[in-house]
Amino acid sequence: MTLKKLTVITLACANLFVSSAFASNDYQLSCNVNISSDILFANKELIVKSSEQEAILFKANGAVYVNDRKITLTKNEQKLAQRYYKDVEASVPMVVDIAVEILKITDLALKEVFSGLLGKNSSLPEKLNARINGVTTTLKDHVYQDPNSLTFDSAHLKRNLGLGNELTKEIEQIKAEIVSTLMGQLMVAIGQSMMNGGGDFTALESRMANLAKDIEKKAKTLGDSVKESAAALCDKIEALSKTEKELRKVYELRYLDTVYFTNKA
């Protein structure tokens, strides 16, 4: 077993696991969802922006305001507005619970596999745990800051948690950082082994090969625990999309186009 071959295997394992861990969301949701504007839910009021940048405010009783002007609605239209408000309110804790669970799963998987590769003395799992816990705490503190009303400010989450258009770039940066750190620590371990007269890396190669085979299976198995919640969230968002489509029939709400939903093929 040559050092060059071991290095190639190491890099392949690192990339495979990191990609699998961070791609877990791909099979969590059975639907495609695109939110085209910022959403603000606070003080028991919902505000979304229309495609024409109008501020549309929904109240729990079915009252709707467009740019601070109350619009006239029929009883059926008021019921649709109430349903829209309630569906958004119900979706917020579902999103939070799923996000927190996925973060916990990712943390557990990273700890198990990295500890298997680097040993229990590696500091990388603890560093990642601190980073993941920081995101979890920030998210929960934001949403549950008001005991009388949920709070969900998508613009705030984009700025503070990177949950906007830059998310993909941020994930790629985190993956690169993890792989780089993992490779560095493995090379140090290999170097120390060589200095101590250990030139046979067969055992390490075997352990890494077995880990590589288990990586995708582990990520999927752990992720299955949130599939039921994710399916319920898809159902809720689909209902929200249908209600929004009905509300667009109201002339003043013709530019309401916040939620785009499709089922995955």
- Angstrom distance (rounded) from CA 218 to CA 125: 17
Considering the chain, what is the average pLDDT of its residues? 75
Q: What is the pLDDT of residues 2-15, one digit of tens each?
A: 444 444 444 444 45
Q: In the chain, at which residue ranges do the beta strands (DSSP E only) sit?
A: 31-35, 39-42, 45-49, 55-59, 64-66, 69-70, 152-153, 259-263
Q: What is the pLDDT of residues 141-181, one digit of tens each?
A: 888 899 888 898 887 777 766 554 444 455 556 556 666 76
Residue with the larger pLDDT of the pair 63 and 257: 63
**What is the pLDDT confidence band of residue 135, given thresholds at 50, 70 and 90?**
confident
The helix (run of H) or strand (run of E) holding residue 173 is helix 167-195
In the chain, the percentage of residues whose pLDDT exceeds 70 is 56
How much is the pTM? 0.69
